[in-house]
Amino acid sequence: MRHTIPTIMPGLAVTLALAGCASQPQTVVVTQPAPPVLVQQPPPMAMAPPVAASGSPGVLPPSVAGMFPTPNPQGGGPGQPPTQQEFALLGETVQPSTGTPGCGVDLVLNRDQFLASLPRLQSLGIINAAVTPQQAQAQILSVALAFTLQAAPIAAHEFLNEGNAPFACHFRQAISVPAAAGGTQLMPMFEFDMDHQTDSQAPWLRLLTAGFTYTDANRFIAAAPNFHLAPGVQAQVAHENGG
């Protein structure tokens, strides 16, 4: 008995003739297998352009620039930078923070002590000699930024190099200001992280011995991890400067 099976084209109805059989030809439908479903990976998401962090150069309001000492074209400056102990005499204190998980340090500037120390600050080359006591009082946040952006790196450096100090810590700078109900309250200024590696690579001490400028302050801002000004600081500085 001979069976002839014609070539089967996928998806077509073909006749299967069974030779020597009295039965009628039968129609067999051969269904083509569905092509494999190719699961395509979604195209890679386009990376958004990097957003300038608040700690990028130039974040410090330009109106603060006049509070920094004028660079000496002959080089040099006030000599060795003040220690944190000396900064404390000028109104800047350092105290561990109990409200920060892990390692936290609060840097607090006493407004009245700072204003009283203005002549000393100017003789050290930390504040521009042209700033008058009246101007410093009217633009307290502006002149305080010029000071604390020099004091904060020193405080962080000394703290991280104490015995048994942690590898990294979070620093918060504030200034005491008069409260509406009397007394004083703390106004946040800025905060940042610092670790041993960043501190050891940063030229803070060299910059201070050469005279710390507005440009140097922005370098610190750009280098200090997670640096950002506290909400409202830029608006307050603008207000002090007639903005």
Amino acid 197 reads Q
Using the predicted structure, report yes or no on whether residue 199 has a pLDDT greater than 60: yes
Which comes out higher in pLDDT, residue 106 or 123? 106
Q: pLDDT by residue (tens digit) across 7-60?
A: 434 443 333 333 344 445 554 444 455 544 433 333 332 222 222 334 344 578
Phi and psi at residue 116, in whole multiples of 5°? -65, -25
Query: Does a structural domain hold residue 64?
Result: no
Query: Does a structural domain hold residue 56?
Result: no
Judging by beta carbons within 10 Å of its beta carbon (0-12, 13-18, 19+), is residue 93 exposed, middle or buried? Answer: middle
Long-range CB pairs of 114-121 (<8 Å, 24+ gap) are: 114/90, 114/144, 114/147, 114/175, 115/140, 117/89, 117/90, 117/91, 120/90, 121/90, 121/147
Q: pLDDT by residue (tens digit) across 72-119?
A: 655 545 556 677 788 888 999 998 887 667 899 999 999 999 999 999
Query: Does a structural domain hold residue 3?
Result: no
Query: Does a structural domain hold residue 54?
Result: no
Query: Does a structural domain hold residue 20?
Result: no
Query: Does a structural domain hold residue 14?
Result: no
Q: What per-residue string of b and e applies to 23-36 under the rule 16 or more CB within 10 Å gives b? A: eeeeeeeeeeeeee
Q: How many domains does the chain have?
A: 1
Query: Does a structural domain hold residue 57?
Result: no
Query: Does a structural domain hold residue 17?
Result: no
pLDDT value of position 38 = 39
CA distances from 57 to 61, 221, 224 (A): 11, 7, 11
Global pTM exceeds 0.75: no
Domain region containing 175: 69-240
- Per the CB < 8 A criterion, the answer to whether 55 and 224 are in contact is yes
